[in-house]
Structure 1
Amino acid sequence: MTQMPENVRAGLQALMIEYCYAVDGLKDMQPLLDLFTDDARADFTAIGLPMINGKGEIKTFFDGVFAGMSHHFHFISNFRPESWDGSVGAMTAYVIGMGRANDGNTVTVQVKYRMECIEQDGAWKCRHYTITPMMPMPGSLTEIHGEG
């Protein structure tokens, strides 16, 4: 791995932070979608949620999340550059995510985000996003956000 330049590291870290703010907002979908490439993939299978392909499916998934939740809170830390090849950068971070569904159900997860990103039109965009568990997953996650 070539060492990730500091400006790239800062850009990827900012992207991950903006993702958390966009998800926690639970209102405006556009800032969230702006963080992804058109062909982005979001792999949530390790936490019992779906594989999502493309911005259209990302929007559909998060439309459901936004409609079903009254509160979200994500705390992100331990940013770590994973790879840099001169144009594609990947970074991981630890996340504690909490939420309350409209029906009063709650969820807390401890996970790791991995975002593989490219620069498009002067902004960093995520093209592959993966969530993996760091602690056992609560059943309430699939109850709130799962397919079913």
Structure 2
Amino acid sequence: MPQMPVDVRTAIERLMIEYCYNVDALENMDRFLSVFTDDCVADLSAIGLPLMHGHDGLRGFFEPVFADMTHHFHFISNFREESWEGTVGTMTAYVIGMGAAKDGNTVEVQVKYRMECVQDDSGAWKCRHYTITPMMPMPGSLDEIHGDR
């Protein structure tokens, strides 16, 4: 596998961090969606959540999440290059995610993010395929909070 250039690695790490900050803010859907290509795929099925296509699919899932939650907190670490194909960079990272819902329910997950990213016409890196896989058993509260979406 060719080595990912340092500037690409840095850009994708920053994109993954930006995703976490945007999810934690629970407020700006356009800023959240700016992390993704228009035709993105987000596959959260390994943790019992939906497979989503494009900005409309993400919006349909995350708008109610933003409305239903009072707090989100994501800690991201262990960034690792998975592949570099000259124009497509894929990285993984470990994430601890926590949240509190307006109904008093809480959730904590330990997962791995995988983001396959490309540069858009402006030179900004965007995620075109996003996957979450569990690193530890998933809590039942995740389904209670977000399972009906």
TM-score with structure 1 length normalisation?
0.98
SS at match of 1:11: helix
TM-superposed CA distance for 1:30, in Å, is 1.1
How far is the alpha carbon of 1:34 from its aligned partner?
0.5
Unpaired runs of at least 5, structure 2: none
Give the SS at the match of 2:108. Answer: strand
Equivalent residue, structure 2, for 1:140: 141
Q: CA deviation at 1:58?
A: 0.4
**Matches for 1:1-16 after TM superposition, within 5 Å:** 1-16=1-16
> Aligned pair count?
148
Counterpart in the other structure of 1:124:
125
The structural deviation recorded for 1:64 is 1.0
The percentage of counterpart residues that share the same residue type is 68
1:147: Cα distance to partner? 1.7
State the SS of the aligned residue for 2:24: helix
Letter paired with 2:11: G
Provide the alpha-carbon RMSD of the alignment: 0.7
d(CA) in 1 for partners of 2:8, 2:123: 12
1:34 maps onto 2:26 in alignment: no
Distance 1:45 1:133 in 2: 10
CA offsets 1:57-108 (integer angstroms, 9 cap, x no match): 1011110110110000000000000000000000000000000000010000
The one-letter code matched in structure 2 to 1:27 is: E
Indicate the residue corresponding to 2:77 in structure 1.
Answer: 77
SS of residue matched to 1:75 = strand
Query: Matched residue of 1:3: which SS?
Result: coil
Gaps of 5+ in 1: none
Superposed structure 1 runs of 4+ greater than 6 Å apart: none
One-letter amino acid matched to 1:141: L
